[in-house]
């Protein structure tokens, strides 16, 4: 088979999902070193992929759904004269547009009615399979086999500039923060992923009293009021970076922290990409599928994952508990403190609650 010379990968919109595709893009570049590889991505995904050396050109997708977004993709497909398109996102409209644009090779997951419009159909992610592994399978099918790199060769990637690191260092210096600094990511995309607000101040105080660790609140502008309430409830001197960074600055800031305590969120994957240990709190989602990724399914997680696997979990986007979220409420501040202190190297911790991320490539 003649190797494709011009490839467009249609990426996802969310921060974490986009980071999940970076190992697959690295594999694609390894398999096709001379190909021109473009990526179209939307929202925060485009910002976190900027500067990725496996990508030749990055197109930012319009923020609004509907005709404007579809028209932008069709223009990109036609102008780029691509001989292959890879659909990381199982979007029926995108599959139809790829065929309408006459792209000869169209690879994607056989779900959401996309199958008839694809030339290579890949089974979607299996239950318990990490999404990174499913994206790697997509590239493996696109390249028609070959040896998948060994464990540890496919980490998440984010390009952080010297200016981003300078911002992070300046912020920490201005706030008088020295190690150990523990980042507390209070924001998530859905309420069923959100650790109880009143737990954060308790955790911060325990870290300060027992470990001398300063806590740094992380979140977007929408979490500003919550951050203010957490700071008011705490005895310890909390610092807030909520709403003060862009994605790359946040990555740099997380790289300077000793540990990141977080729910299933984009910043969790940013922390993983820059090599900072995480204490990840899971409830409504399966950590085997979206948990911290460190290069391969059997690669050890730096830090820990707390997940009680209640009978109702994972409920995904359809919680049945009436908003109680017992899956997260059961992850008490004392349990999370013990895991965090152990990761800091200043305590011991019973590892029984930890569910390591697993999956198959």
pLDDT of residue 150: 45
Residue 56 belongs to domain with CATH number: 3.40.50.2000
pLDDT of residue 347: 46
For residue 310, being part of any structural domain is answered with yes
| Greatest pairwise CA separation for the chain in angstroms | 65
In the listed set 142, 176, 203, which residue is the last one of a domain according to the structure?
Answer: 142
For residue 351, being part of any structural domain is answered with no
Residue 102 neighbours by CB under 8 Å, 6+ apart:
none
For residue 153, being part of any structural domain is answered with no
pTM: 0.89
pLDDT of residue 66: 62
Q: Which two tokens stand for residue 8?
A: 């467009």
Q: Which of 325, 332, 228, 343 is nearest to 278 (CA)?
A: 343
pLDDT of residue 6: 97
pLDDT of residue 311: 67
Q: Are residues 130 and 246 in the same domain?
A: no
Residue 121 neighbours by CB under 8 Å, 6+ apart:
108, 109, 110, 115
Query: Can you tell me which residue has the tokens 């399978």?
Result: 137
Q: Are residues 10 and 131 in the same domain?
A: yes
Q: Are residues 103 and 168 in the same domain?
A: no
pLDDT of residue 214: 96
For residue 101, being part of any structural domain is answered with yes
- Cα 136 from Cα 283, distance rounded (Å): 26
Q: Are residues 121 and 166 in the same domain?
A: no
Cα distance from N-terminal residue to C-terminal residue, the chain: 24
Residue 170 neighbours by CB under 8 Å, 6+ apart:
none
pLDDT of residue 204: 98
pLDDT one-digit tens code per residue, 4-56? 999 999 988 889 999 999 999 999 999 999 999 999 998 789 999 999 999 99
pLDDT of residue 168: 97
Where the chain has pLDDT below 50, the residues are 150-152, 347-361
pLDDT of residue 318: 63
For residue 222, being part of any structural domain is answered with yes
Asked if 12 and 45 touch (Cβ cutoff 8 Å), the reply is: yes
pLDDT of residue 247: 94
Strands annotated E in 110-156 = 120-122
- Cα 11 from Cα 43, distance rounded (Å): 10
Structurally, the chain folds into a number of domains equal to 2
Q: Are residues 134 and 185 in the same domain?
A: no
What percent of the chain lies above the pLDDT cut of 90?
Answer: 67
Q: Are residues 62 and 168 in the same domain?
A: no
Q: Are residues 329 and 184 in the same domain?
A: yes
Q: Are residues 178 and 132 in the same domain?
A: no
pLDDT of residue 352: 31
129-161 burial: b if 16+ Cβ within 10 Å, else e: bbbbbbbbbbbbbbbeeeebbeeeebbbbbbbe
pLDDT of residue 151: 38
Q: How many CA atoms lie within 13 A of 83 on its CB side?
A: 8
For residue 155, being part of any structural domain is answered with no
Q: Are residues 134 and 175 in the same domain?
A: no
Q: What are phi and psi of 130, to 5 degrees?
A: -65, 145
- Cα 182 from Cα 166, distance rounded (Å): 19
- Cα 64 from Cα 225, distance rounded (Å): 27
Number of H helices, E strands in the chain: 13, 12
In terms of residue numbers, what domain contains 75? 6-142
For residue 337, being part of any structural domain is answered with yes
Asked if 154 and 241 touch (Cβ cutoff 8 Å), the reply is: no
Q: Are residues 92 and 179 in the same domain?
A: no
Q: Are residues 219 and 289 in the same domain?
A: yes
Q: Are residues 52 and 185 in the same domain?
A: no
For residue 156, being part of any structural domain is answered with no
């Amino acid at each position: 088979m003649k190797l494709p010379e011009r490839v467009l990968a249609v990426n996802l919109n969310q921060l974490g999902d986009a980071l999940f595709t970076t190992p697959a893009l690295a594999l694609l570049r390894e398999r096709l070193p001379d190909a021109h590889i473009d990526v179209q991505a939307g929202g925060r995904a485009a910002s976190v992929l900027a500067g990725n050396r496996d990508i030749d050109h990055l197109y930012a997708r319009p923020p609004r759904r509907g005709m404007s977004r579809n028209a932008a993709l069709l223009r990109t497909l036609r102008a780029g004269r691509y001989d292959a398109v890879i659909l990381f996102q199982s979007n029926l409209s995108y599959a139809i547009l790829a065929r309408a644009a006459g792209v000869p090779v169209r690879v994607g997951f056989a779900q959401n009615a996309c199958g008839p419009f694809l030339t290579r159909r890949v089974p979607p992610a299996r239950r318990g399979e990490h999404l990174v592994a499913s994206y790697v399978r997509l590239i493996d099918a696109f390249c028609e086999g070959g040896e998948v790199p060994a464990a540890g060769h496919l980490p998440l990637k984010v390009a952080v500039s010297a200016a981003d690191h300078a911002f992070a260092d300046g912020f920490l210096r201005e706030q008088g923060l020295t190690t150990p600094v523990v980042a507390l990511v209070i924001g998530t995309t859905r309420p069923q992923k959100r650790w109880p607000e009143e737990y954060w101040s308790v955790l911060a105080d325990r870290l300060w009293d027992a470990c001398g660790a300063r806590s740094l609140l992380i979140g977007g502008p929408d979490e500003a009021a919550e951050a203010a309430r957490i700071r008011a409830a705490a005895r310890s001197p909390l610092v807030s970076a909520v709403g003060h960074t862009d994605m790359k600055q946040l990555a740099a800031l997380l790289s300077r922290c000793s540990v990141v305590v977080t729910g299933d969120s984009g910043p969790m994957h940013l922390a993983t990409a820059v090599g900072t240990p995480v204490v990840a709190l899971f409830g409504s989602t399966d950590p085997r599928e979206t948990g911290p990724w460190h290069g391969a399914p059997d690669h050890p997680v730096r830090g820990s994952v707390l997940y009680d696997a209640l009978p109702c979990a994972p409920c995904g986007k359809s919680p049945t508990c009436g908003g109680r979220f017992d899956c997260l409420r059961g992850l008490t501040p004392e349990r999370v403190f013990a895991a965090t202190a152990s990761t800091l190297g200043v305590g011991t911790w019973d590892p029984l609650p930890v569910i390591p991320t697993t999956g198959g490539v």
